[in-house]
Amino acid sequence: MKDTGIKFDDFRDYFAGLVKDLEKEVPYAAAFAARKEGVRVMASSTQSSVTPEIPHPGITLTLFNGESFYEYATNRFDAAAIREEALALARRAASERGKNQGVEIDPGAPLTQDFSLPLKTDPRKVSLQDKQDYARELQSGLAKAGAKVQNALALVGDLTSDEIFVNRSKNLRQRLTRVDEMVQVFVAGEGGRIQQLWDGASRGGGWELHGFCRDRLKGLVADAERLLSAGRLEPGTYDIVSDPEWSGILAHEAFGHGTETDMFLKDRAKGREYMNKPVASAITSLVDDPSHPGQAATFFFDHEGALAGKNQIIDKGTLVHGMTDLYSAAYLGYPRSANGRRESWERKAYARMTNTFFEPGSSNPDEMIASVADGIYLRYPSNGMEDPQGWGIQCEGLWAERIKNGKLTGEVFSPVIMTGFVPDILQSISMVGNDLEITGLGYCGKGHKEIVKNTMGGPHLKFKARLA
């Protein structure tokens, strides 16, 4: 990128003046700028690598003529050229407006503020050597944790994002720092069978948060070795207790794209039919909360300037709100939630999940298992998918352990697939744990692209679903 006039730190003042001039042509204008830096260090039994994050700074200008949105994006920081091209787009937008009254965009309450996640140790000040040493420590510990280990991999990373948003009311900047830590093991059994398993965490904050995997290496290898002899589960409907990670993938798939309200506008989400209706048992509540402290998808404002806050999706069994972006909220008349997110400044903002999780209940997890006469305990989810239009989901995992007479039997099945209609599964929830765990290793795409960081989680849950 060739810098020909304006520095990133100067964009807040520059945007304020530009937005004012653009709104002489159109009813609403806003500006967004972003850049990032970080590194990912990988160590395995055979190789190691260091991958720096490409900063890739750029800006996006959003214009609304009362009927349609227009956007201009560039990584040429030439103040005069940006102004000339943006004003030309604004004049075009104004000329293409029809005679309809259209809708109004609320710019929000006036606010000028800088935000940043609390850090004890800024990862950018930690040497690359220290990061490599920690990755090698994890990898070595994992490789030595069992005689059947064939390969062990550790990944340590950090990412710092710097973002600016300006409209006529708001002038905001946020610095978001995230650290990642993941381990993966491959073990070998009889007949050449190979089993893999992984664990890790992604959290919002500084280098001091590393250390999640240190005490989990032996347990991970032991679980992988148990799966070497696992058979396949007989298909059927089971009483299920899910650990917090499995509860999280259920939250993500059940209330992911199905309640992103841009899908409502396209008539591609059955969830719209259930708004303000019971969709789960009365003891079930679920939120999407980008303000939840310490999480990988935590932020202070979304990429369209909405301030982060708790968005109650299910309240005591009733579906009460979706996840909005600016476009869908304006045209549906919904209150804004901070879910307008871009993969980068080059990409459109869509309604997207952030930290999505079931809220804790009152049941002790041990009591939940003890309540099952014959059922399955689910751990280690691997992936999932949903059909927003039909609201069917499929969740896959690597660990299904038999529960018999209220006790874990040690009989393990793998892999396991859970399927069903979302309201049927959620209305069967009969116990909600008093624990809560949120994991952040995953990303989510809108279709096959538009990748953003998110987290998912919850407490232990007891429910019924079909497994195979």
Q: Is the pLDDT of residue 290 over 80?
A: yes
Compute the average pLDDT of residues 235-242.
Answer: 98
Q: Which amino acid is at 361?
A: G
Residues 390-403 have pLDDT tens digits of 999 999 999 999 99
CA geometry: angle 395, 396, 402, nearest 5 deg: 105
Confidence grade of residue 98 (pLDDT, cut at 50, 70, 90): confident
**Is 432 among the domain residues?**
yes
Confidence grade of residue 100 (pLDDT, cut at 50, 70, 90): confident
Confidence grade of residue 131 (pLDDT, cut at 50, 70, 90): very high
Sheet hosting strand 318-319, strand order edge to edge: 318-319, 311-315, 286-288, 355-358, 455-458, 437-439
**Is 324 among the domain residues?**
yes
Per DSSP bridges, beta strands 455-458 and 437-439 are antiparallel
From 227, 251, 269, the end of a domain falls on 227
362: left (phi over 0), alpha (psi -120 to 50) or beta: alpha
Compute the average pLDDT of residues 173-189.
Answer: 98
Q: What is the C-alpha separation between 335 and 328, in angstroms, rounded? A: 10
Q: Is the pLDDT of residue 323 over 90?
A: yes
Q: Which amino acid is at 203?
A: R
Q: Which amino acid is at 414?
A: S
Q: What is the mean pLDDT of the chain?
A: 96
Q: How many domains does the chain have?
A: 3
pLDDT greater at residue 434 or residue 388: 434
Print the domain residue range for 93: 8-37+55-114
Q: Looking at residue 1, what is its pLDDT?
A: 42
Q: What is the C-alpha separation between 6 and 80, in angstroms, rounded? A: 9
Q: Please name which of 376, 428, 422, 421 lies closest in space to residue 239, comparing C-alpha atoms.
A: 376
**Is 62 among the domain residues?**
yes
Q: Which H, E and C letters describe the chain, residue by residue? A: CCCCCCCHHHHHHHHHHHHHHHCCCCCEEEEEEEEEEEEEEEEECCCEEEEEECCCCEEEEEEECCCCEEEEEECCCCHHHHHHHHHHHHHHHHHCCCCCCCCCCCCCCCEEEEEECCCCCCHHHCCHHHHHHHHHHHHHHHHCCCCCEEEEEEEEEEEEEEEEEECCCEEEEEEEEEEEEEEEEEEECHHHCEEEEEEEEEEECCHHHCCCCHHHHHHHHHHHHHHCCCECCCCEEEEEEECHHHHHHHHHHHCCHHHECHHHHCCCCHHHHHCCCECCCCCCCEEECCCCCCECCCCCECCCCCECCCEEEEECCEECCCECCHHHHHHHCCCCCCCEECCCCCCCCEECCCEEEECCCCECHHHHHHCCCEEEEEEEEEEEEEECCCCEEEEEEEEEEEEECCEEEEEEECCEEEEEEHHHHHHCCCEEECCCEEECCCEEEECCEEEEECEEEECCEEEEEEEC
294 and 414, same structural domain?
Answer: yes
Per DSSP bridges, beta strands 455-458 and 355-358 are parallel
132 and 257, same structural domain?
Answer: no
Q: Looking at residue 178, what is its pLDDT?
A: 97
178 and 95, same structural domain?
Answer: no
Compute the average pLDDT of residues 118-124.
Answer: 96
**Is 2 among the domain residues?**
no
**Is 128 among the domain residues?**
yes
**Range 207-210, long-range pairs (CB < 8 A, 24+ positions):** 207/119, 207/120, 207/121, 207/122, 207/123, 207/126, 207/158, 207/179, 208/119, 208/120, 208/121, 209/179, 209/294, 210/134, 210/156, 210/179, 210/181
**Is 16 among the domain residues?**
yes
CA geometry: angle 451, 324, 54, nearest 5 deg: 25
**CATH classification of the domain holding 222:** 3.30.2290.10
Residues 390-436 have pLDDT tens digits of 999 999 999 999 999 999 999 999 999 999 999 999 999 999 999 99
174 and 91, same structural domain?
Answer: no
Beta-bridge partners for 140: none
Among 25-29, 59-63, 449-453, where is mean pLDDT lowest?
Answer: 449-453
460 and 361, same structural domain?
Answer: yes
Task: Give me the phi and psi of 99, to 5 degrees please.
Answer: -95, 0
Confidence grade of residue 449 (pLDDT, cut at 50, 70, 90): confident
Among 95-104, 148-157, 382-391, where is mean pLDDT lowest?
Answer: 95-104
Q: Which amino acid is at 177?
A: T
**Is 48 among the domain residues?**
no
398 and 381, same structural domain?
Answer: yes
121: left (phi over 0), alpha (psi -120 to 50) or beta: beta
Residues 192-231 have pLDDT tens digits of 899 999 999 999 999 999 999 999 999 999 999 999 999 9
**Is 135 among the domain residues?**
yes
219 and 131, same structural domain?
Answer: yes
Per-residue tokens: 228: 């070497």
From 114, 131, 162, the end of a domain falls on 114
Instruction: Find the largest Cα–Cα distance for the chain.
Output: 74
131 CB-contact burial (10 Å; exposed 0-12 / middle 13-18 / buried 19+)? buried
From 164, 192, 227, the end of a domain falls on 227
